[in-house]
Amino acid sequence: MKKLAEQFLSQHEREKITETVQRMEQVTSGEIVPMVVTASHNYPTASVAGGLFLTIPLALLLTSLLGSTLWLGSQNMWLFLAFSAILFFPFRYLVSKNVTLTRMFLPGSQVQEEVEEAAITAFYGEGLYRTRDENGILVFVSVLERKVWILADRGINEKIEPDLWQDIVAELTRGIKTGKQGEALCQAITQVGNVLQDHFPIKEDDTDELRNIIIG
C-alpha cells in the first residue's frame, strides 16, 4: 500500500499533467501544484475493525464445529477466545495490507478531517504560501481515501470564494473513482487555471516558483 501514490499515475499521465500545469501557467501568474499522496493518515482503527469483522464469524463457526465434536459444553467460550486470539492478528495484518479491505473499514467521520489536515500540512510544507503574489493553489489527492482537497493561498481567497472549487473537487473525485484519474486531474488543473486567469493574468516577469507535480 506504500506505493499507492507511485502507482496512481502512469508516466504518460504524469507528463500530461505537467504539460497541463505549464500550459495554464502561461496564462496566469497563479501557481498550480497537483499533489498525490498514498494516504492522509495510517488509520489504525481500520485494521482493528476489519480484523474483528473477519475474526468473530470464523471463530464462532470453528467453535461451533469443534465444540460440538469434542463435547466441551461450558468450555466453548474459552475455545472461542482461543480461536479469536489466533485469527485476529493475521486478519488485522491482511486488512492493513489490502487497499480494498482497508477502504471498507475507514472511519467515515475521520477521513475528511484527516485529508483536510494533510492538505494544509502539505500546503505549508511545500511552500505554497511563499509565492510572490500569494497565489499558490494546491490540488491535493489522497489515493487511499479517494478524496480531493483544493487549498488556495490568501491572495486567491481574497478574490475567489473557496466554495467555487467544490464543483472541481466533485468532478475530480468522480474521475478518480472511475479510474480516469489522469484525465480528471488534467481537466481539474485546466478549470483551476481558467478561474485564476481572470483574477491573476500572466505578468511579463512571471517565473515558475513551484514544482509542477508532486508524488509522495
Residues 53 and 32 reside in one and the same domain: no
Q: Say how far apart CA 151 and CA 129 lie, in whole Å.
A: 11
Per-residue pLDDT band for 70 (boundaries 50, 70, 90) equals low
Q: Is the domain of 98 the same as that of 59?
A: yes
Residue 189 contacts residue 176 (beta carbons within 8 Å):
no
How much is the pLDDT for 78?
84
pLDDT score for 144: 97
Distance CA 58, CA 49 (A): 15
Does position 175 have pLDDT exceeding 80, yes or no?
Answer: yes
C-alpha span between 135 and 126 (Å, rounded): 14
Please tell me whether residues 37 and 137 are part of one structural domain. Answer: yes
CA-closest candidate to residue 144, choices 189, 180, 96? 96
Among 89, 104, 119, residue at a domain's last position: 104
Do 82 and 153 share a structural domain?
no
Q: What are phi and psi of 35, to 5 degrees?
A: -135, 135
Residue 72 is predicted with a pLDDT of: 58
Q: pLDDT tens digits, residue range 73-94? A: 667 888 899 999 999 999 999 9
Q: Same structural domain for residues 92 and 196?
A: no
pLDDT in tens, 116-153: 999 999 999 999 999 999 999 999 999 999 999 999 99
Higher pLDDT, 19 or 216: 19
Q: Residue 50 and residue 103: Cα distance in Å, rounded?
A: 10
Asked if residue 136 and residue 114 are part of one domain, the reply reads yes
Integer CA distances (angstroms), 54 to 50, 80, 190, in order: 6, 14, 44
13 and 120 both lie in a single domain:
yes
Query: What φ, ψ does residue 39 adopt, rounded to 5°?
Result: -160, 160
> CATH number, domain at 18?
3.10.310.50
Residue 1 has pLDDT above 70, yes or no: no
Which of 88, 104, 120 is at the close of a domain?
104
Question: Tell me: the pLDDT tens digits for 177-212?
Answer: 999 999 999 999 999 999 999 999 998 888 888 888
Q: What is the pTM of this model?
A: 0.89
In this structure, the strands spanning 214-215 and 136-142 are unpaired
Give the residue carrying C-alpha cell 509565492.
Answer: 131
> How many residues are listed for the chain in this entry?
216
Whether residue 200 sits in one domain with residue 188: yes
Do 155 and 168 fall within a single domain? yes
- Whether 129 and 36 share a structural domain: yes
User: Do residue 129 and residue 180 come from a single domain?
Assistant: yes
- Looking at the fold, whether 162 and 112 belong to one and the same domain comes out as yes
Q: Domain end: 76, 104, 132, which one?
A: 104
Range of the domain at 170: 4-42+107-215
85 grid coordinates: 486470539
Q: Total structural domains in the chain?
A: 2
- Report the pLDDT averaged over residues 99-116: 94
